[in-house]
Structure 1
Amino acid sequence: MATVNIEQRTTKKGIKFRARVRIRDPLLEKGYYEESNTFTTRAKANHWATNRAKFLEVEGIPTKGIKGSDLREVTLANLIQMYLQYWDLNEKKLQRSKIFALSAIAKRDISSNLVSQITKDDVIDYAKMRKRDGVSGYTTYQDLIYMKSVLRAARDKEFMVNGNADCVIDAIDQIKTEINKQKIPKGHRLLEFSANERSDIEPSEREMELLRKALLVREQHPSAKIPYLQILDFAIATCMRVSEICRVKWKNFDEDAHTIVIEDRKHPTNKVGNNVTIPLIGGAYEIVLNRRDEKIRELKEKNLPFDPTEAIFPFESRSVTAGWQRCRKQLIDEGHSIKQIRFHDLRAYGATLLLKKGWSLPKVSKVTGHRDMKVLNNIYNRYEVSVIAKEDFNERHGLNKESVD
């Protein structure tokens, strides 16, 4: 377990606070690993040290300093198996996409090599082989990112394997250099570093009404347990991901402030400790209160205490999305014209509704959690295009705004 120490120091420039995080490990040359940083206030020092300690406890300490004699020689396939087994027993689970991708990588030729002997050229050959198989450049890039995460963990005390992620890092850098040097256009690159703009799909009011009716029928089935409509309305109002909805706890709910805290929210570089408070708007606050009242009544009948560490929506996110997909497929099979709308598309849909109310992009970002305004700006631009098209249609056909979806 990491220990945290905050030391007040007097310097020529005034009082400073030195934060130190230390983890003892007999496998290190010094017998422990330590990081330190200096701040102008105790609060900042404590904030950094607390988050850094939590990160190191979850992600493990850097590999520098581990005795080479203690490391083992194993194949990449074996290391992937060890990695998946470790995270299967961990409280925080890996995403399904990462599990499936790593399981597939473990069966490929590159994984028969010893981890310590995998080279940059091996990784580039893997990317070329994936391209020949017809796999998109972005999927291949994700493969390499997952492979890198495994190799970075090789020397961790849980695995003690000889190897590192330099081969993947160098391969990605070389491919990037070639792309820029030869000016290879998108769609023809060995790696694509951003997903295709598939997120342009936005449900119409007609499609949402069809999906809502289908979800209601599914929810009313005698064996159904998931309140699909509650989760649907909550997702649209809060712009939360389904995985976030299904793990947020009662203790994260602030009834007086009308807010909820999303712990370890998705972040481009570090989600550990990225706890974000968002407002409960658009009926989301009332949904939480109703669920709490229902929970209290249920517990009273069973003479059980209320547990604030329980999830507000204690359902598997995979089950929620599976129900959504089955309803969508059923509508398509019945002949309805409906796009391949994912549950995740509700995030952009909810943001669009806020933009229609006249909310500014910074204000919307307080709900969605986007730190990059470019993402929200793309949503705004799509909304503006739709408005222009509908206004033109209304004007040409003498219709008011409300008469066209």
Structure 2
Amino acid sequence: MATITRLRSGHWRVQVRRKQSYVSETFLRHEDARTWAIATERRVDLGESTLKRAQVDPTTFAHLVDLHVTDMCEVGRAPRRSKQFTLDALKAHLGTLKLKDLTRERLIQFGKDRAKEGAGPVTLSADFGYLKLVLTHAAAVHGVDVKVEPVNLARVALKRLGLIGKSRARDRRPTADEIKRLLAHFDHNRYLLIPMGRIVRFALASAMRQEEICRIRWSEVDVQRRVVLLHDRKDPREKDGNDQLVPLLDLTGFDALQLIRLQRKHWSRSDLIFPCNSRSLGAAFRRACKELKIVNLHFHDLRHEATSRFFEAGLRIEEVALVTGHRDWKMLKRYTHLRPEHLHRARTKGTPAEAVDVARDAAQLLVTELQAAHQRGNQTDAMASALRKAGPLLQELASLLLEQGHTSPSQSPSARPRLALTG
């Protein structure tokens, strides 16, 4: 069966699925597309090869972008807003180029032009990531003869020029005064339709992203277990289907479950707990910061603040990860903005359990630092750096063991407890 679809570029794409065969082609005119579809179906029926789709000649980069978007939509993975925005920008700059003209020199010039327009290193890195994705997709799925090596070389060149780079980790945490002023501003604003006061408190209680807050439903809250089900939680590897049960805690000065109950009293007409658009939420937060003259504070910084408070309340990394959804502990460490000595927790002094806790923290910190040093290729100073950062915890462990009578200065080195590290 043949399907003819009009693309955003105005061209016509034909897809023929027949007898477990699949072939596609793109045409300028609908009549040409229809004629090709009939001829292709006839070839399939006669048992002839349909490998001519490997010779598809979309001719321009814009065709490949449309091809990628259509394929993704067909399998239920339509590009989200940020990806579609980037693809549109790529089409605007490179869409009319013939595939043979996507050379290293031309792509380097594209990067320089984007930088002059104001695109930062992170934005330009995303541009080249999606550029490579589109070309790889066309080659792998449709057999288009296109190479990605010019993209790789152009990326290296632009990185050396300082035009492509990674994002800088933010360490901005709102002060107690800033939070107090924001809450007072939202609570006393009678004209604000969005319950920003409760939303800010909930963000500080749950560490959820603003899109997640606007997406949770009453039916997904289990009051007895104090958990909420979050669908398709953000993950760099697999977002679709990444559903997580998230505990609703009371550890940051705000009770997440109590705030949900309070919201029920004020708003229960919608399936959504906080029925608002995430972009409207962000805009309201930015306006408030501007009016209050609070500089360089983003709504996402509330997630940083909540995560840091979880650690300060005594939760371990694996426990915090259950709340925040992080699978990479290095990313989680980035969000905490805590010094290693902040891993000291309010334990019952002088108990064996406390010594075990401190030993586990020290081992975990040592392993993390050694792995990071190994990845950087800095073998010489790796152990010294790791021991220096874990020093406060090791000193605390020694003090606890002395208090409990497990060791003494007069004991021989072989008789003293050892901290076993396993990678």
Q: Check whether the contact 2:187–2:197 (CA below 8 A) recurs between aligned residues.
A: yes
Residue matched to 2:181: 210
Question: Which secondary structure does the structure 2 equivalent of 1:236 belong to?
Answer: helix
State the Cα distance separating 1:349 from its structure 2 match.
0.4
Gap regions ≥5 residues in structure 1: 1-24, 34-64, 299-306, 333-337, 388-405
Residue matched to 2:6: none
Q: Check whether the contact 1:348–1:379 (CA below 8 A) recurs between aligned residues.
A: yes
Q: Which protein has greater RCO, CA pairs closer than 8 Å, 6+ apart?
A: 1
Q: Check whether the contact 1:77–1:112 (CA below 8 A) recurs between aligned residues.
A: yes
State the Cα distance separating 1:111 from its structure 2 match.
2.0
1:247 equivalent among 215, 230, 243: 215
Q: Using the alignment, how far apart are the partners of 1:29 and 1:90 within structure 2?
A: 20
- 1:329 equivalenced with 2:290 (yes/no): yes
Q: What is the TM-score normalised by the length of structure 2?
A: 0.60
Q: Using the alignment, how far apart are the partners of 2:243 and 2:120 within structure 1?
A: 33
Residue matched to 1:135: 119
Listed as ranges, the matches of 1:287-298 within 5 Å are 287-296=259-268, 298=269
- 1:76 equivalenced with 2:49 (yes/no): no
Listed as ranges, the matches of 1:336-347 within 5 Å are 338-347=294-303
Q: Check whether the contact 1:27–1:67 (CA below 8 A) recurs between aligned residues.
A: no
Q: Using the alignment, how far apart are the partners of 2:333 and 2:203 within structure 1?
A: 20
2:231 equivalent among 243, 251, 263: 263
Residue matched to 1:57: none
Residue matched to 2:107: 123
Q: Using the alignment, how far apart are the partners of 2:266 and 2:96 within structure 1?
A: 54
Which residue identity does 2:83 align to in structure 1?
K
Higher CA-based Rg: 2
Residue matched to 1:201: 172
Q: Using the alignment, how far apart are the partners of 2:282 and 2:75 within structure 1?
A: 24
Residues 351 and 311 of structure 1, relative CA distance in 2, 3 Å threshold: same
- 1:191 equivalenced with 2:164 (yes/no): yes
Listed as ranges, the matches of 1:53-64 within 5 Å are none
Which residue identity does 1:213 align to in structure 2?
A
Residues 67 and 143 of structure 1, relative CA distance in 2, 3 Å threshold: same
2:153 equivalent among 163, 174, 177: 174
Question: Which secondary structure does the structure 1 equivalent of 2:245 belong to?
Answer: strand
Q: Using the alignment, how far apart are the partners of 1:164 and 1:364 within structure 2?
A: 47
Q: Structure 1, residues 337-372: CA drift from partner, whole Å, max 9, x if none? A: x33100011111001111221222221111111122
Which residue identity does 1:208 align to in structure 2?
I
Residue matched to 2:130: 146
Question: Which secondary structure does the structure 2 equivalent of 1:112 belong to?
Answer: coil
State the Cα distance separating 1:234 from its structure 2 match.
1.3
Residue matched to 1:113: 97
Residues 179 and 152 of structure 1, relative CA distance in 2, 3 Å threshold: closer
Residue matched to 1:104: 89
- 1:362 equivalenced with 2:318 (yes/no): yes
Q: Using the alignment, how far apart are the partners of 2:88 and 2:155 within structure 1?
A: 26
Q: Using the alignment, how far apart are the partners of 1:318 and 1:370 within structure 2?
A: 23
Q: Using the alignment, how far apart are the partners of 2:180 and 2:265 within structure 1?
A: 28
State the Cα distance separating 1:316 from its structure 2 match.
0.5
Residues 115 and 294 of structure 1, relative CA distance in 2, 3 Å threshold: farther
Q: Structure 1, residues 170-199: CA drift from partner, whole Å, max 9, x if none? A: 34543566699xxx5xxx43421x2023x1
Question: Which secondary structure does the structure 2 equivalent of 1:145 belong to?
Answer: helix
